[in-house]
Amino acid sequence: MSEVKVNKISPRSGTDVTLGDSGDTFTVPTGVTLDTSNSTVTLPDGSVTNAKIVDSTIELAKLSATGTKDATTFLRGDNTFAAAGLNGWSENGANNDLLPASASAGIYLGVNSATAANLLDDYEEGSWTPIDDSGAGLSFSNTSGNCFYTKIGNVVCASFRVTYPSTATSNNAHIGGLPFTAKSQSVNTDAVSFGEQNYVAGTMAVVSQGNTNFLFLTTNGSSVSLVPNSSISGKDFRGTVIYKT
């Protein structure tokens, strides 16, 4: 093997120096350093076909992409830094709950195109206070700490306990104060289920459509009658109202 030792190779004329011919191989032994720190070396597109870059040497700053680079974004295939996750939704910090930026945003269920009837966009839990809606101005007892609601979509489930005061008023019994206004429709349909009550067996109650109360009913097997306050004087009712908004 012949060896040439020089400190600098320069073109004899012009600016180009050619190393070897097509098919030649130039070997750079292990331990050799190519120091290009004082210049910019341009490798033509497609000229590097097999290279090994030392681990952990490519910094984010070396990437050229549009968008904002920070802890909340990631690099997409179209060379764009984009927000992680779904547009308009976050993870509520460390809690990992899916949280929309808009309070009216929801999730479509059971469809693959936006259909209003399939949009679940409301959920809420809270408490409510039953009040006398008969017009007699009665004050109920045992309501505190016993009346809660959960609203899922357009369905409200409201639990309650109401104890009527002693009363001789003849107004038809209406318990009001429901946490949401019931849906307006032709007739009253949504029911009250009593878990416990000490009035007559078979007592019913139905939610007033378009309103925030329910009224007491009894039946003799053929007709249905409203129940006056006097009939349920001192009586205790516990149950659940399920209705639509």
Residues of this chain, 2-41, that bind another protein according to CB under 8 A: none
Q: How far is the CB of 128 from another protein (least distance, A)?
A: 5
Stretch that binds another protein, among 22-30, 34-42, 57-65, 202-210 (CB under 8 A): 202-210
Q: Report the distance separating Cα 6 and Cα 83, nearest Å.
A: 55
Burial of 122 (0-12, 13-18, 19+ CB in 10 A): middle
Encoded tokens for 149 = 């609601």
From candidates 149, 160, 199, 243, binder to another protein by CB under 8 A: 149
Say how far apart CA 173 and CA 178 lie, in whole Å: 15
Distance CA 185, CA 150 (A): 22
CA atoms of 69 and 67, how far apart (whole Å) = 7
Q: Which stretch binds another protein (CB under 8 A): 24-32, 93-101, 110-118, 120-128?
A: 120-128
Q: Which region among 66-74, 93-101, 171-179, 192-200 touches another protein (by CB under 8 A)?
A: 171-179
Contact region with another protein (CB under 8 A), list: 44-52, 78-86, 112-120, 181-189? 181-189
202 binds another protein (CB under 8 A): no
The answer to the question of residue 229 lying near another protein (CB under 8 A) is no
**First and final C-alpha spacing in the chain:** 93
Can you tell me which of 143, 159, 203, 208 binds another protein, judged by CB under 8 A?
208
Q: Does 203 bind another protein (CB under 8 A)?
A: no
| One of 159, 167, 212, 229 touching another protein (CB under 8 A) | 212
Near another protein by CB under 8 A, which window of 8-16, 19-27, 176-184, 189-197? 176-184
Is residue 240 part of the contact set for another protein (CB under 8 A)? no
Burial of residue 132 (CB within 10 Å: 0-12, 13-18, 19+) is buried
Site size toward another protein (CB under 8 A) is: 28
Phi, psi for 232 (deg, rounded to 5): -110, 25
Q: Is 85 left (phi over 0), alpha (psi -120 to 50) or beta?
A: left
Cα three-residue angle 87-91-95, rounded to 5 degrees: 170
Three-state DSSP state, 60: helix
Shortest reach from residue 221's CB to another protein, in Å: 15
Chain residues that interact with another protein, rule: CB under 8 A: 124-129, 133, 135, 149, 172, 177-181, 184, 188, 206, 208, 210-212, 215, 217, 224-226, 245
